[in-house]
Structure 1
Amino acid sequence: MNIAVETSPQLRELHRQTEVLVAAGWAEAAGMRRDRFRELATGLAPRLPDGEFVLTPRRGLVTPETMIRSARLGGKTGFTTMESADLAWFAPVDGLRLPDSPLYLLCGVDAGQRTRGVRPDDAADLLRDAGASPLTLEEGLAVAVQFPRWLVERTCFQMLGSRAGDKRVTGVWVSRTAPRLGWCWGGNPHSWLGMASCTTRLG
């Protein structure tokens, strides 16, 4: 069942984002039919915000490797050198509440321009004080898939919302002109990496 293309810009954007994921093979990767995947996205239409949003999969629906390969910048396909078993350790941090639905919406997404040069370990408090929530691994990858130009027009970013029980923080940046999923130490600041966040999650 296709999402009807209405006059609403928000509905058209939901349709666009859904078809990006369908074309990338996310329905098959999630073990479902394409029409079912579209139905799940359509079900979010009543919750669409007025501003920017990002259609995001629940953790485990699609692997991080599939997600980063769906991010394309200037014709280059995203990649990672991290192993699947290693990526599986990165889980949402304690206290981070995520919707239960297979697909949900990130609202008020900020790539983190104001947190460039801040140590990731220090940035969590800054985000909380600003009323923002750090993006998880999967959420950051969803942003890179839907808006890869943000990596050059806004900033590359890290995902403080997922940790592996060690000192690492995953991030997405541009390497060899392609989106790359990797990690950096939580105690090291980088002038070219912000801390991605959102204000609301709607399932």
Structure 2
Amino acid sequence: MKENPGEVRGPGGGFDAGAEFDRQVEGLVELGYPAAAGLGVQEFRSLVDPLRAVAEDRGAGECFPEAGRVPFLLVVTRQMVPIERTMELTAVHGKKKPGFVDRSFEPGSLERFVPVKEAVLPHQDAYLLLDVERGEEFCGVVPGDAMAVIAERGRTPLTVEEGVALLTHFPQTLVKNKCFSLGGSRCGDRRVPALWISAGAPKLGWCWEGNPHTWLGMASAGGRGAR
């Protein structure tokens, strides 16, 4: 996978959304997403390739992963590849130790964390998440309050799969003291999923919606798109 995705540029020097989309597709292919989804490589490409036009049409913007801002993400849902598997394919930037789902998710509980009404998915298999921020401005803010501000801004909190996609395509976004909650997936109780670093690897865990953490913000996006 390209080491400096923020440097994907077009002939005029500006951000090249088509080239960035291609980079993300190739990265998923290299990680083994097609096989994990039970598809051949060409089948996988055929599934996601229509989204390239969406990226070119709606994916322009700033791409500064180190600052936690990217114009779009190619998201593959748990209907295609289980979250437990996609987490294993992540790593902290510059390291190889695979990510994991924390054991605080009791058996079967992760499946109950589904998109909230503010995070309706445009497609059940794959789609684009647009105008993404990891949300470190919300570090130290109660998650429930952070989600209220995000809603007031007309933005949407990220689901678990979308958080995994951000980490997968842009591992530079997950760093010490700038980790992020994923308020777009809930299960009806006070738990809010989150991604942070544990023992040198990405961990998918959860925190209480009423408890602030100085090292944990709230990721959000401007919208979603599919064809």
**TM-score, normalised by the number of residues in structure 2:** 0.81
Which of 213, 217, 221 aligns to 1:194? It is: 217
Unaligned runs of 5+ in 1: 1-5
- How high is the sequence identity, in percent, across the aligned residues? 41
- Mean Cα deviation higher: 49-58 or 157-166: 49-58
Q: Does 1:65 align with 2:73?
A: no
Q: Does 1:50 align with 2:69?
A: no
- Mean Cα deviation higher: 62-71 or 73-82: 73-82
Which of 12, 20, 31 aligns to 2:27? It is: 20
Deviation at 1:89, TM superposition (A): 1.0
Tell me, in whole angstroms, the C-alpha distance in 2 between the residues paired with 1:128 and 1:181: 23
Which aligned pairs between 1:95-110 and structure 2 lie closer than 5 A?
Answer: 95-100=118-123, 102-110=125-133
Tell me, in whole angstroms, the C-alpha distance in 2 between the residues paired with 1:187 and 1:38: 42
Query: For each residue in 1:133-182, what CA deviation from the matched residue of structure 2 results, as whole angstroms up to 9, or x when unmatched?
Result: 00011111111111111112882101000101111111111111111111
Letter in 1 for 2:76: P
Tell me, in whole angstroms, the C-alpha distance in 1 between the residues paired with 2:46 and 2:35: 14
Q: Is the 8 A contact 2:177 2:214 kept in 1?
A: no
**TM-score, normalised by the number of residues in structure 1:** 0.90
Q: Is the 8 A contact 1:91 1:164 kept in 2?
A: yes
Unaligned runs of 5+ in 2: 1-9, 62-70
Aligned residues: 198
Q: Look up the SS of the partner of 1:76 in the other structure.
A: coil
Q: Look up the SS of the partner of 1:109 in the other structure.
A: strand
Q: Does 1:180 align with 2:180?
A: no
- Mean Cα deviation higher: 42-51 or 186-195: 42-51
Correspondence for 2:48: 41
Q: Is the 8 A contact 1:71 1:146 kept in 2?
A: no
Q: Does 1:143 align with 2:150?
A: no
Deviation at 1:54, TM superposition (A): 0.7
Letter in 2 for 1:116: C
